[in-house]
Amino acid sequence: MKCHGKTLTVVLLCLGSFLATALAQGGGELRFCLRSEPKTFDPLKVDDDASGAIRYLTGGVLVRVNRQTQELEPGLAMSWKVSKDGRQISFRLRSGVSFSDGTPFSAGDVAYTIQQLMDPALHSPTGDSFRSGAGNVETRVISPTQISIRFPAPVAGLDRLFDYVAILSERSPKKEMAVLGPFMVADYKPGSTILLKRNPYYWKTDEQGRKLPYLDSIQLDIQPNRDVEMLRFKRGEMDLINSLDSEYFDKLAATSPQLVHDAGASLDSEQLWFNEVARSPIPVYKKNWFRSATFRRAISEAINRDDLSRVVFHGHAQPAVGPFSPANKFWFNSKLKPQPYSPEQALKELQADGFRMENGELKDKDGNEVVFSIITNSGNKYRERMAVLIQDDLQKIGIHVNVVTLDFPSLIERMTQSFDYEAMILGLTNVDLDPNGEMNVWLSSSANHQWNPQQKAPETLWEAEIDQLMRAQASSSDAKKRKEAFDRVQEIVVEQEPFIFLINKNALSAVSTTVHGAAPVILTPQTFWNAEWLTVSGK
Amino acid sequence: MNFWRTLACVVLALVLGSSLAANWLAPAGYARQYRDAIGAPPSRTHWLGTDEIGRDRFARVLYGTRISLLLAPAAALLSTLMAALIGGLAGYLGGVWARMAMAVTDLFMSLPWLFLLITARALMPLNVSPLVSVLVTFLLLGLLGWTAAARVLCTTAGSLRTSDFVRQARAAGLPGQRLFWVHVVPNLKPVLYAQFWISIPVFILSEANLGILGLGVAEPMPSWGSLLKELEGLVSVGEEPWKFVPLILLVVVVTSFQFLLSRQEELAA
């Protein structure tokens, strides 16, 4: 009897363990909030975060950037090859793959997707990143599992761009609702919820041969109010918050430290810049200050970035080094070091440039008091606080700063139309690791070259050099040469400081303990980048 | 009710007095940043703790009160004078003048004043000191806040115009201008006082609303509006009750004005 009892205990323990494992690895519903209504379910028209999240979860892509390693991995394409001239890419596709409605997938679908993507009438933001020159894109279907795509001009970082191209079905009657990703849209209540169900035809399996994704469904609630999102998360109605601000992060960490994740510096930056537009309606002597690299460097040295990070972001930000965050493992120029905080050095440089201190006020060589305004968008408390800290820092070297908050449309009008401002604080949200995604910022002819946009010809030698380097890297398919060119761009930007980069915000998120397999990262989507591997238990 | 009015007077005097004595009560000033004590709870050095960038909240409440309590009455005075000029004169003249004035008043009242203020603020020069920005904010409030009072004054002046004593004065040959200043204006005074007192809490609250939108007084200068912005994160306020002090002060001051106002309304009646 004793022996039988032991056997029974062992059997029960094994059974229990098996059941626990099975429960922990399969099924469940993940719930989280989208902060806005998705504008479209068509993956080629995606232009907003909410639609981007749906595309990520439902779209099947040929290649996928692993959000953790930042390396490119096979998706629907088992292998790929970019030609030496950077104009052509060839894919070898998986066989036996079907769309969510059972329609088989083949190279014809890829050709159809590219044709749709590059159709000028569609105005696809994703398609725009492939447009490197005039002419048509040619697709050649070699076999059902082989295709080559040729572009009229070299496209930098060509293979990585396919991370954003969800393949459409050429033949499915469901059109864009037939998907190749791990989930498919099952229900949509406008203004309320989107229900994603597991795609029964999804091609990927785990090491044991089990079909992915593990989750049965994902419920996305449309909730623009962050306070409500936080309350619902605390009540257990939501399983994760993809992006938290530092104040909420600390408050949640104080009560439930196991729920919050700080993945470190993200790609997002906050920066201050001066108006250098020649035709702007500001006094000439101020234009002269703002167009002086010495003046900009001195301002940069007088700003205490450590305090910006510690005081404004409660330590959940890193002092910025340059145009790219150190989080961008490949493209960041590791030779660059953070700008040291030194008001004394700043003052020395200004005095060497003809400025002088009189009764605690800095004056230029013509006797003009150094006073300028910094504008930022009202309602963004972090930018407002940064501006007030900078105001206090610059007061120490005799510079008087007026902080002005404006509604966003007024701010954009001043930045892009009237150029009626002196200095501005705004941020850059980077989703693309490749510097090509920032061509519109660094080219002097671009409308987004904020400190002096739409120049007919580069107005400074260093801007001319940046133009030349950015064009060179964009037309090269040699990663090493591209890296060298962009390293130099970063050095020039740090030397000249057209943007005074302030901080890189950390990627903060919250994940419930009922979610298994979550590993928040800095790249979007931070918490559900590996959604196909996640499980939810204990509900 | 006398007790409550007396109490209201004492409270207002106390609040105004302590705000005027801010230089002595909080000598470090409202702008000094204690960056090693950000978001600190109340202590002996910081009686109401510090704000999110380490500024002493007690000092900011005192200076903010000074600004709101001095400039709101100034804006109220401006709007009441404009109402007296437009409404009082139109009501006294009557006929087409009254209709025209009321049409303009209706037009002003139908304007979304909040958007108008936002637009006006956006059109202002950027490089103005915080003091100028606060003056301009209250000036705009004063210039836009006369409409409701003008309607009341127009009606009152209209009824005075047809009253027996004005008819008698007119029949006795008193010229129009003298009639207006000697007989009409003195009889409008109680209504003007009441409108003045009504406007003060309205402007205090308007500035607070603009401050919450980030369109009021410029940093680093405090006002009740900018202080109330701290209450935005409702999730955490229960844990930091001292953040409610500016709100409590606002309620106490507005209530005190209301008690004084009831006295003025009695006088007007």
Among B52, B118, B127, select the one facing A373 at the smallest CB separation: B127
Q: Which pTM value belongs to this model? A: 0.84
The DSSP output letter for A338 is P
pLDDT, tens digit (0-9, with 9 covering 90-100), for B189-218: 888 888 888 888 788 878 877 766 656 788
Contacts of B232 in chain A (CB under 8 A): 381
Decide if A308 touches B, using CB distance below 8 A.
no
Among A230, A310, A407, select the one facing B122 at the smallest CB separation: A407
CA gap A284, A288 in Å, rounded: 6
Identify the residue whose tokens are 């079907």.
Answer: A98
A 41-80: CB under 8 A from B: none
Give a three-class secondary structure readout of A120-152.
HHHCCHHHHCCCCCCCCCEEEEEECCEEEEECC
CA distance, residue A227 to nearest chain B CA (Å): 7
Among B53, B118, B233, select the one facing A385 at the smallest CB separation: B53
CA gap A44, B159 in Å, rounded: 70
Mutate to test the interface with B, among A229, A389, A402, A414 (most CBs of B within 10 A): A402
Question: In terms of DSSP bridges, do strands A29-34 and A515-516 run parallel, antiparallel, or are they unpaired?
Answer: unpaired
What pLDDT is recorded for position A165?
A: 96
What pLDDT is recorded for position B108?
A: 85
Q: Is B258 exposed, middle or buried (0-12, 13-18, 19+ CB in 10 A)?
A: middle
Over residues A207-221, the mean pLDDT reads: 95
* Closest of B28, B16, B24, B41 to residue B220, by C-alpha: B28
pLDDT, tens digit (0-9, with 9 covering 90-100), for A387-399: 999 999 999 999 9
Q: Which residues contact A98 (CB under 8 A, 6 or more apart)?
A: A104, A105, A201, A203
Contacts of A375 in chain B (CB under 8 A): 126
CA distance, residue B9 to nearest chain A CA (Å): 36
* Numbered residues of chain B with Cβ closer than 8 Å to any chain A Cβ: 31, 33, 35, 38, 52-54, 118, 121-122, 126-130, 133, 213-215, 218-220, 229, 232-236
pLDDT, tens digit (0-9, with 9 covering 90-100), for A129-181: 888 777 889 999 999 999 999 999 888 889 999 999 999 999 999 888 999 99
CA distance, residue B230 to nearest chain A CA (Å): 10
Q: What is the dihedral of CA B100, B104, B110, B111, to 10 degrees?
A: 160
Asked if pLDDT for residue A189 goes beyond 90, the answer is yes
Determine the longest span between alpha carbons in chain B, in angstroms.
Answer: 77
* Closest of A370, A402, A439, A431 to residue A155, by C-alpha: A439
What are phi and psi for residue A47, nearest 5 degrees?
Answer: -145, 10
Mean residue pLDDT across chain A: 91
Mutate to test the interface with A, among B131, B136, B235, B240 (most CBs of A within 10 A): B235
The residue with greater pLDDT, B209 or A332, is A332
Q: Would the CB atoms of B235 and A231 count as touching at under 8 Å?
A: yes
Asked if pLDDT for residue A431 goes beyond 90, the answer is no
pLDDT, tens digit (0-9, with 9 covering 90-100), for B42-60: 999 999 999 999 999 999 9
Over residues A122-129, the mean pLDDT reads: 86
CA gap B222, A197 in Å, rounded: 52
What pLDDT is recorded for position B135?
A: 85
* Closest of B189, B185, B201, B202 to residue B264, by C-alpha: B189
Among B118, B129, B219, select the one facing A384 at the smallest CB separation: B219
3-state secondary structure of B252: helix
The tally of CA atoms less than 13 A away on the side-chain side of residue A397 is: 27
Which residue in chain B is spatially nearest to A307 when comparing CA positions?
Answer: B35
Decide if A370 touches B, using CB distance below 8 A.
no
What pLDDT is recorded for position B229?
A: 79
* A318 touches A332 (CB < 8 A): no
Q: Would the CB atoms of B126 and A407 count as touching at under 8 Å?
A: no
What pLDDT is recorded for position A19?
A: 43
Q: Would the CB atoms of B215 and A307 count as touching at under 8 Å?
A: no
Question: In terms of DSSP bridges, do strands A400-406 and A371-377 run parallel, antiparallel, or are they unpaired?
Answer: parallel
Which residue in chain A is spatially nearest to B128 when comparing CA positions?
Answer: A402
Asked if pLDDT for residue A40 goes beyond 90, the answer is yes
CA gap A512, A66 in Å, rounded: 23
- CA distances (Å), origin B201, targets A302, A481, A507, B231, B261: 42, 67, 44, 20, 10
CA gap A117, A273 in Å, rounded: 36
Decide if A312 touches B, using CB distance below 8 A.
yes
* Closest of B67, B87, B5, B16 to residue B207, by C-alpha: B67
Among A231, A307, A422, select the one facing B35 at the smallest CB separation: A307
Cis peptide before B220 (omega within 30 of 0): yes
Over residues A72-80, the mean pLDDT reads: 97
Count of all residues that appear for chain A in the document? 539
CA distance, residue B220 to nearest chain A CA (Å): 7
CA gap B200, B259 in Å, rounded: 13
Structure token pair of residue A247: 């104040």
What pLDDT is recorded for position B103?
A: 92
Contacts of B35 in chain A (CB under 8 A): 307, 310-311
- Left if phi > 0, otherwise alpha if psi is -120 to 50, otherwise beta: which for B134? alpha
- CA distances (Å), origin B91, targets A67, A209, A419, B196: 73, 89, 47, 19
Among A310, A385, A402, select the one facing B52 at the smallest CB separation: A385
What pLDDT is recorded for position B264?
A: 59
Q: Would the CB atoms of A421 and B126 count as touching at under 8 Å?
A: yes
CA gap B35, B47 in Å, rounded: 17
Structure token pair of residue A255: 């009560």
What pLDDT is recorded for position A17?
A: 45
Contacts of B126 in chain A (CB under 8 A): 373, 375, 402, 404, 420-422
pLDDT band (50, 70, 90) for residue A378? confident
- Per-residue pLDDT 10s for chain B (269 aa) are 588 889 999 999 999 999 999 999 998 899 999 999 999 999 999 999 999 999 999 999 999 999 888 888 899 999 999 999 999 999 989 889 999 999 999 988 888 877 777 777 677 788 888 888 788 888 888 888 899 899 999 999 999 988 999 899 989 988 888 888 888 888 888 888 888 888 887 888 788 777 666 567 888 999 887 888 788 765 555 678 888 998 899 889 888 887 877 665 565 55
Contacts of A372 in chain B (CB under 8 A): 127
- Left if phi > 0, otherwise alpha if psi is -120 to 50, otherwise beta: which for A264? left
CA gap A181, A517 in Å, rounded: 19
* B56 touches B32 (CB < 8 A): yes
Q: What is the count of residue pairs from A and B with beta carbons less than 8 Å apart?
A: 74
CA gap A389, B52 in Å, rounded: 11
Among B54, B126, B215, select the one facing A402 at the smallest CB separation: B126
The DSSP output letter for A100 is T
Among A373, A381, A407, select the one facing B126 at the smallest CB separation: A373
Contacts of A407 in chain B (CB under 8 A): 118, 122, 215
Contacts of A386 in chain B (CB under 8 A): none
CA gap A109, A169 in Å, rounded: 5
Q: Would the CB atoms of B233 and A311 count as touching at under 8 Å?
A: no
* Closest of B213, B217, B208 to residue B118, by C-alpha: B213
pLDDT band (50, 70, 90) for residue A289? very high
Among B122, B126, B220, select the one facing A388 at the smallest CB separation: B220
Q: Would the CB atoms of B118 and A391 count as touching at under 8 Å?
A: no
Structure token pair of residue A99: 């769309």
The DSSP output letter for A311 is I
* A442 touches A448 (CB < 8 A): no
Structure token pair of residue A208: 């044991």
Q: Kindly report the CA angle at A306 between A305 and A312, in degrees rounded to 5?
A: 85
Give me the interface pTM, i.e. the ipTM.
Answer: 0.81
Contacts of A388 in chain B (CB under 8 A): 33, 53, 219-220
Decide if A402 touches B, using CB distance below 8 A.
yes
Among B128, B214, B236, select the one facing A402 at the smallest CB separation: B128
What pLDDT is recorded for position B233?
A: 63
